[in-house]
Amino acid sequence: MTEHDPGRRTFLVRAIVGTGAIAGAELVPAQTTESPKEANASAQSHSGEDRHGAFFNRDDAATVAAFTERLMPGAPGKPGAHDTGVLHYIDLALAGAYADLQDFYRHGLAQLDALCRKRYNEPFVRLNAARQDEVIRALEQGEATEFTWPTAQEFFNTIRTHTMEGMFADPIYGGNKDFAGWRLVGFPGAQPIFTRTDLESKQAFSRAPVTGL
């Protein structure tokens, strides 16, 4: 883990808490009307490749998992993207509510792979953490001129947004596994009732989170 990772992680967590959008509708994709079986069949029809889950093939899934974990790395007692199921969230979203972003992800991941092979002769998943962070920083700052569509910053911003959604949206959408994201920021979810003692207490709310849907 490189030196700037805790800063990035802290920034993202504070951004979520500061906007009050942990369970906000703007972070949560609408549920797809397709059943999981139908979503998988739809994803299969796009390509003959071996699929991973609902949309990603095995290689793309590994890349997204590595990328999102660098954005929100896990630490002792602090869940990261892997722990909260961010990959699963994005995979399901792209097979349903975010289906219009499928080509965006395909092109973006292909450009990411080409960039890494050009600079380091290895795909993103095989780079060490320091080099992965160098690549991510280049995307974030718009310095990866090899990107055309989506642009480097568009691709970075989209994956960062989806990582935050996967960590902090309601678990019903496939991320925030075991309420890990909500526990991280002390969000209680939709409790059935808050007692007078709860409302008057100045201590952090400690009751286990519950789903909002």
Cis, bond preceding 150 (omega within 30 deg of 0): yes
What pTM, to 2 d.p., does this model score?
0.76
**Count of other CB atoms within 10 angstroms of residue 33:** 9
Distance CA 150, CA 158 (A): 10
Please name which of 155, 166, 15, 17 lies closest in space to residue 85, comparing C-alpha atoms. 166
Q: What is the mean predicted confidence (pLDDT) over 41-46? A: 40
Band of the pLDDT at 27, cuts 50, 70, 90? very low
Q: Is 123 helix (H, G, I), strand (E, B) or coil?
A: coil
Distance CA 58, CA 110 (A): 14
For the cut 90, the answer to whether the pLDDT of residue 123 exceeds it is: yes
The string of DSSP letters for 139-159 reads HHTT--TT--SS-HHHHHHHH
Q: What is the mean predicted confidence (pLDDT) over 3-9? A: 53
Residue 133's pLDDT is: 98
Q: What is the mean predicted confidence (pLDDT) over 34-53? A: 44
Residue with tokens 């992800």: 105
For the cut 80, the answer to whether the pLDDT of residue 53 exceeds it is: no
Residue 22's pLDDT is: 52
Distance CA 124, CA 61 (A): 12
For the cut 60, the answer to whether the pLDDT of residue 127 exceeds it is: yes
| Token pair belonging to 162 | 């989806």
Band of the pLDDT at 42, cuts 50, 70, 90? very low
The b/e string for 68-84 (b: 16+ C-beta within 10 A; e otherwise) is bbbbbbbeeeebbbbbb
Count of positions (residues) in the chain: 213
CB 98 within 8 Å of CB 89: no
Band of the pLDDT at 19, cuts 50, 70, 90? very low
For the cut 70, the answer to whether the pLDDT of residue 136 exceeds it is: yes
What residues contact residue 99 under an 8 Å CB cut-off, 6+ apart? Answer: 42
CB 125 within 8 Å of CB 112: no
Mean pLDDT computed over every residue of the chain: 81
Residue 203's pLDDT is: 75
Angle, helix 58-71 to helix 102-120, in steps of 10 degrees:
80
